[in-house]
Chains A and B, each alone.
Chain A
Amino acid sequence: MHIPDGFLDLKTCIGTYLGTAGALKFSLDKLKNNFAEEKIPLLGLLGAFIFAAQMINLPIAAGTSGHLLGGVLAMLVVGPWAATIVITAILVIQAIFFMDGGITVLGANIFNMAVVQVFAGYGLYIALQRITKSAKVSVFLAAFLATVISAAVAALELAISGTIALDLVLPTMIGWHLLVGLIEGTITVLIVSYLERVIPNRLELLNYRVGDCGAH
């Protein structure tokens, strides 16, 4: 899912850098005033885990693989603002140190994975909580759908850049990322269920849910 240099044109690179800068400014301000100091080590540990997990490509089908993006997982553990910062830090380190994702397209990669995936997941999770009774179903579907949406946005950027026609790239990106999304959903449910058992009162959005469910 990391776009390499050369796939996007100048206007798309600049546009996504600007959009990303705005989103980061907003997230940093929110983090500054709303994040509890005692949860700082959790932020670092979550980032370290997602960095490690992203290196593990799982085979999906016919010579293709997928790895965890981790935006929805981070969003559930530390909330959407902090999650954006966590995924951004990972993507910057991957690009600068390890040539995973290009530098000119870094704005686009942050936009797709740290902004779109996190906030699509956030909106979906809140909405799904009202529709489904099962927390696991909400978590799975939010992670699954947010991954597909993130891939669709990447397809749009490729089409806007003139790299490939939208009617070709959109269905193909969505098709493969339906499978990648299944991995994302499964891993997110497994890890969130584990964390819910060992550190239940430290989870940002699951707290919100526990409060909600406590009413009945």
Chain B
Amino acid sequence: MIVVLTNKVFLWIVGVILLLAFFNSVLASSHSDGLERVAEDLGFIDYAKDSFSIFSDYQLPIGDGLVATGLAGLLGVGLTYMTLTLLAKGIINKKVVKQDEN
């Protein structure tokens, strides 16, 4: 397997991802996003219903404040990395890729 990223670049990128994920509550503005703002201005925000979800809005039931949101962020990036890697390993057709490269 060819190394995709050099070690130094890889560590930089992973570091930035982990910092963004852990400090999301500190870095993020709590103002409504574009769609919420439109729904508030035009008066249909009350249509919104809470749906089923394993955790609440980016907050794990562990610790408080920064720790709860920080761990939620780390869990999110970890789940995303694993889901995509496993999915891709499961479906990508190695033979076809090799033939294409000829």
Given the interface pairs A32-B91, A38-B2, the reply to whether A104 lies near B51 with Cβ below 8 Å is: yes
Q: Which residues of A contact B84 (CB under 8 A)?
A: 43-44, 47, 85-86, 89
A57 to B78, CA, bound (A): 20
Are B34's CB and A1's CB within 8 A? yes
B88 lies within 8 A of A177 (CB)? no
Q: Which of A1, A43, A59, A104: most chain B Cβ within 10 A?
A: A43
Instruction: Find out whether the CB atom of B81 lies under 8 angstroms from the CB atom of A64.
Output: no
Interface-forming stretch among A14-22, A95-103, A121-129, A208-216? A95-103
Q: Which residues of A contact B42 (CB under 8 A)?
A: 164, 168-169, 172
Question: A168 CA to B5 CA in the complex, in Å?
Answer: 47
- Number of A residues near B (Cβ < 8 Å) is 72
Instruction: Tell me whether A28 and B57 are in contact in the complex, defined as CB-CB below 8 angstroms, given that A37-B97, A104-B51 are known contacts.
Output: no
Which residues of chain B come closer than 8 Å to A56, judged between CB atoms?
Answer: 20, 24, 27-28
Q: Is the interface of B mostly helix, strand, loop or mixed?
A: helix
Whether the pair A89, B87 counts as a contact (CB closer than 8 A) is yes
Is the beta-carbon distance between B4 and A163 smaller than 8 angstroms?
Answer: no
B82 beta carbon closer than 8 Å to chain A:
yes
> When the two chains form their complex, are residues B44 and A163 in contact, meaning their CB atoms are under 8 A apart?
yes
Establish whether residues B91 and A99, one from each chain, have CB atoms under 8 Å apart when the complex forms.
Answer: no
Question: Of all chain B residues, which has the CB nearest A4?
Answer: B48
Judging by beta carbons under 8 Å apart, are A66 and B92 in contact? no
- Determine if B87 and A85 form an interchain contact, defined as CB atoms under 8 angstroms apart: yes
Say yes or no: A55-B73 contact (C-beta < 8 A), given A1-B33, A89-B87, A103-B52. Answer: yes
Which residue of chain B lies nearest to A106 when distances are taken between CB atoms in the complex? B51
Contacts of A115 in B (CB 8 A): none
A59 to B32, CA, bound (A): 9
23 residue pairs of the A-B complex, CB under 8 angstroms, read: A1-B35, A5-B49, A6-B48, A7-B48, A31-B92, A33-B100, A36-B101, A42-B5, A43-B84, A44-B80, A52-B17, A52-B21, A53-B20, A55-B21, A57-B30, A60-B34, A64-B32, A89-B83, A89-B87, A98-B58, A102-B51, A163-B47, A173-B38
**A-B interface, 3 closest residue pairs, ranked by CB to CB distance from nearest:** A99-B53, A55-B24, A6-B49
Which A residues are within 8 Å of any B CB, using their own CB?
Answer: 1-7, 28, 31-45, 47-53, 55-60, 63-67, 85-86, 89-90, 93-100, 102-104, 151, 154, 158, 163-164, 168-169, 172-173, 176-177, 179-180, 198-199, 202
